[in-house]
A and B are shown apart, each in its own frame.
Chain A
């Protein structure tokens, strides 16, 4: 149980284009999803917290107009990197928190998306 699927695993895009990353909870309802960014040889940095049906809460220094988050259902959250630039190249990871049992508290992570902007 507690599987989080993230897609795509890798994406290469041209500078100025937008990229959408999906995060799905496969066997539980995720009331809260978290989006992280990880640069090479660094730790995970929380970008934003999204609750189903409401606006995401962004961490300080994260541009909400650049990193659009949608959490329209209890099993799907999306992160769209708009007008991507090479400095946005990174490893993006989601995690999901559900209700009940071992699914609490955002402990289950997706497998990550490697974004390369050229």
Chain B
């Protein structure tokens, strides 16, 4: 079956530091997504990637869709306390196809 590996599982950083997390898959996919989930809430879409090699920014967040379409990374620059949460990558084949989620990266930011 389709496997999605997300790392690291958790991160503990100081406020102001940059953060990087990544996902790799065993198969090629057309769409990579990065979500953030706060406790007791549904995931909120941060960045969507549709093309191999695509680099997209959303404020302090930057994500890239790997050339091979099997991986993606998410960077957060100058972290702040409200960046705390769980970050999930997800992929799909596009259209209205279902999403497959990674296991998540739990981010803790110390003030």
- What residues make up the interface of A, taking CB atoms closer than 8 Å to B? 4, 6, 31-32, 34, 42-46, 49, 91, 93, 95, 97, 104-112, 114
Contact = CB atoms under 8 A, between A and B. Distances in A.
Contacts of A91: 40
A105 B42 contact: no
Interface stretch (B12-20, B55-63, B73-81, B101-109): B101-109
Given A6-B42, A44-B88, 7 more contacts: A4-B42, A34-B98, A34-B99, A46-B100, A95-B42, A104-B96, A109-B44
B30 to A, nearest CB: 10
A6 B42 CA distance: 10
Contacts of B42: 4, 6, 93, 95, 109-112
Contacts of A32: 96
Interface string B8-47: 0000000000000000000000010101000011111100
Contacts, number: 54
B98 A49 contact: yes
A44 B41 contact: no
A108 B99 contact: no
Contact of A112 (B41, B48, B98): B41
Given A43-B88, A43-B103, A44-B88, A109 B43 contact: yes
A14 B42 CA distance: 25
B92 interface: yes
Contacts of A104: 95-96
A66 to B, nearest CB: 20
16 contacts: A32-B96, A34-B99, A42-B103, A43-B104, A46-B98, A46-B100, A49-B98, A91-B40, A95-B42, A95-B99, A105-B95, A105-B96, A106-B99, A109-B43, A110-B42, A112-B42
A31 B48 contact: no
Among A44, A93, A108, max chain B CB count under 10 A is at A44
A101 B1 CA distance: 31
Nearest to A45: B101
Contact of B101 (A43, A108, A110, A111): A43
A4 B45 CA distance: 13
